[in-house]
Amino acid sequence: MIKFEHVYKKYEDNPAIEDLNLQINDGDFFVMVGPSGSGKTTTLKMINRLIKPTKGKVLIDNKNIEDYDLQKMRLKMGYVLQNIALFPNLTIEENITIQPESLHWTKEKRKRVALDLLDKVGLDPKEYAKRYPNELSGGEQQRVGIIRALATSPDVVLMDEPFSALDPISRTQLQDLVLKLHRELKMTFVFVTHDMHEAIRLGSTIAVLRNGHLEQIGNRDDILNHPTNDFVRGFFQIEQNGQLSVKNLLDDGFGTETTEETNSTLLKDDLIGRLATELKNNNGIVIFNDDDVNYKFTTADLLDFLAKEGEK
């Protein structure tokens, strides 16, 4: 468990973070979202001690991070950056095993881990292990960036806008990939983005930052349906063009006609926030009637729709 207690960070005299209090539970997919300059990167770097708080405490399992051995702590924390930063003169396999090598893992063990991880992210090891970074697309390179962060089986993986430089299709594929990895590996993911759609799609817990202040923390439903203030409401509404409704999903080809019975009084003109609530109340499947036709929506439909909207 990671905990911020009354944390402040000033750059010279300028406050970047003010009185931040939050808790990140083990195994969570925790997303920090907010506009540029809101303090997301600063907060993330305080977790792996690249930045030291001006005041306050960051704790891991109730122990101040200052009291851990820095090298050991860093090995338990993977870090994925926006600009992919692979070493151009090393092969993909060598890039992945750079940390394991510094830990003196045997050659066999390093190779096994690299090949297993390549396989896990859909890059055929036979084809990719010996290539150099410039022989991979941006999306493929960022897959390697993610693998590199996973190579030492960390407890926590920190990701700072890892997909923002990618084209929309690669971004959606990599979002799916990190969701899959999170399900399989059961590590804590802390993911920073300025993109509200990405936050909603990925986060089990979402923290909204503005000007160094935590505006709200909650799950998808809390944020979409119970914004605590006008900033959170506005941030989502602006990003969602205000008024996306169930009709927009249908028009985009989401949802299917069904002969199953309705389990909801949802209407075609209802906003997607209501759909999110209904999905939550009905175990992820909503069937509603419009004009003598029954339609079926799943949570996946809503998330894919949001991802598609985010690309516009």
13 binds ligand ADP (CB under 6 A): no
**Whether the Cβ atoms of residue 1 and residue 65 lie closer than 8 Å to each other:** no
Coil, strand or helix at 51: coil
Q: Which of residues 37-56 bind Mg ion (CB under 5 A)?
A: 41
Tracing tokens 């830990």 back to the chain, one arrives at 103
Length in residues, the chain: 312
Complex with ligand ADP: residue 11 or 87, whichever CB lies closer: 11
Beta strand pairing status for 29-33 and 55-60?
unpaired
Beta strand pairing status for 2-11 and 29-33?
unpaired
Query: Of the candidates 2, 7, 16, 181, which one interacts with ligand ADP according to CB under 6 A?
Result: 16
> Which range, of 40-48, 81-89, 136-144, 252-260, touches ligand ADP by CB under 6 A?
40-48
Query: Of the candidates 39, 53, 78, 162, which one interacts with ligand ADP according to CB under 6 A?
Result: 39
Complex with Mg ion: residue 41 or 172, whichever CB lies closer: 41
Report which of 197, 151, 174 is spatially closest to residue 306, judged by C-alpha positions: 197
Q: Closest distance between ligand ADP and the C-beta of residue 181, in Å?
A: 23
Pick one of Mg ion, ligand ADP, none as the site partner of residue 141 (Cβ within 5 to 8 A by kind): none
Pick one of ligand ADP, Mg ion, none as the site partner of residue 218 (Cβ within 5 to 8 A by kind): none
34 binds ligand ADP (CB under 6 A): yes
Q: Residue 33: beta bridge partners?
A: 193, 208
Paired tokens of 5:
């207690």
188 binds Mg ion (CB under 5 A): no
Paired tokens of 80:
């994925």
